Structure 1
Amino acid sequence: MTGTPRLEPLPADRWDDTVTDALRPLLSPARMNPHDAGNVLATLVHHPDLTRAYLTFNAHLLVTSTLPARVREVALLRAVHVRRCDYLWDHHGPIAERAGMTPAEIDAVRTDGLDDAAERAVIRAVDELSEANTLTDETWSALRGYFDEPQILDLIFTVGCYQLLGSAVNALRIQPEAH
């Protein structure tokens, strides 16, 4: 992300119980600090109520979703690729690897070059949701061939959640963490 951040991560001296409570839906107590929370969450906690609500939703998508972890990562990687959010792409690469994707498969998400037919249907769904805010009957039928109703709902909401987050990260110009 180029440009000066529009909102800096909340400084450590402003972290209080309200801030850590906002992070509780997604982070373990050990990660509830400005360094371990990362720049996205450390920035979002400027609005603790919004952060808590968003993370409750996001935690479902990341932890208890009905989608297999690999499918979830294909969907969200494509969503952040479409949103041109390098921060989230870079953050989710290692998560996608832990979900069983190879580096070549992760790169193939950008070009719709995956071999698996279900994953190609997921990429098509992300693209249609991004371009038209709906799914064609053909894509809906393809998804129904691979996923049940709860999984399709989790897919649609995963795409929307990460499109939203990618837009927020870009609009706020959140910078990668310094290592």
Structure 2
Amino acid sequence: MRLTPLPADRWDGDVDAALASLLPRQRRNPQGAGNALATLVRHPELTKAFLPYNVHVLFGSTLTPRQREIAILRVAALADSPYEVEHHTGMARAVGMTDEQISDALGGIATADEEQLILRAVNELHTTSTISDSTWNALSVHMDERQLMDLVFTVGAYTTLAMAFNTFGVEPDRELQPEYER
């Protein structure tokens, strides 16, 4: 672990303000925030800037919760991010995905055409940093331009988070429920 969660004696008003856009007051503490957020708040200004974007991806996106979790699970698998795999497995279950569907999404497999296209788009973004014309056009049959934009930004946000969590050595939270309720 390169960066540990911020010690409790260093939690102050700046840390609280940095977490305010995502967590209710009762969770803005070292135990309630979980390992990822408790590590990110080592840099309150960065956290305060990034979390509103992440809040949009999680709660304001035009993607359905299922579409979002399929994309994030695939990002997590491609990035080999234990934290994101575990955390978003819980979130995927919360939106009604079965363990088999979660395993399939992690492996880049889906039975529904639209979901397979989402997985293909994630794979393409991962390998080439763009979605091919053929995938974009096929997705456009199922998604409007805002959904397509949200898909790209969801993949980007969670790629960034996976890189950060992997680099910092953030360990999965076994005791916390995912932040799927606001």
Scaled by the length of structure 2, what TM-score is found? 0.93
Q: State whether residues 76 and 106 of structure 2, in contact with CA within 8 Å, keep that contact through their aligned partners in structure 1.
A: no
Alignment match, 2:6? 10
Alignment match, 1:106? 102
Q: Aligned to 1:75, which of 67, 71, 77?
A: 71
Q: Percent identity?
A: 45
Q: State whether residues 109 and 119 of structure 2, in contact with CA within 8 Å, keep that contact through their aligned partners in structure 1.
A: no
Secondary structure class of the residue paired with 2:141: helix
d(CA) in 2 for partners of 1:150, 1:178? 34
Regions of 4+ moved over 2 Å: 110-113, 176-179
Q: State whether residues 82 and 171 of structure 2, in contact with CA within 8 Å, keep that contact through their aligned partners in structure 1.
A: no
Q: Give the residue type in structure 2 aligned to 1:77.
A: L
Alignment match, 1:124? 120
Q: Which stretches in structure 1 are left out of the alignment for 5+ residues? A: none
d(CA) in 2 for partners of 1:176, 1:112? 22
Alpha-carbon deviation of 1:116?
Answer: 0.9
Structural mapping, 1:23-38, within 5 Å: 23-38=19-34
Alignment match, 1:148? 144
Q: Give the residue type in structure 2 aligned to 1:84.
A: D
Q: Deviations over 1:6-41 (max 9, x none)?
A: 011001111011101000111111110111101110
Secondary structure class of the residue paired with 1:177: coil
Scaled by the length of structure 1, what TM-score is found? 0.95
Aligned length: 175
Secondary structure class of the residue paired with 2:23: coil
Alignment match, 1:54? 50
d(CA) in 2 for partners of 1:36, 1:44? 14
Q: Give the residue type in structure 2 aligned to 1:160.
A: G
Q: Which stretches in structure 2 are left out of the alignment for 5+ residues? A: 176-182
Q: Deviations over 1:79-128 (max 9, x none)?
A: 11110001111011111111121110000012222111111000000000
Alpha-carbon deviation of 1:174?
Answer: 1.1
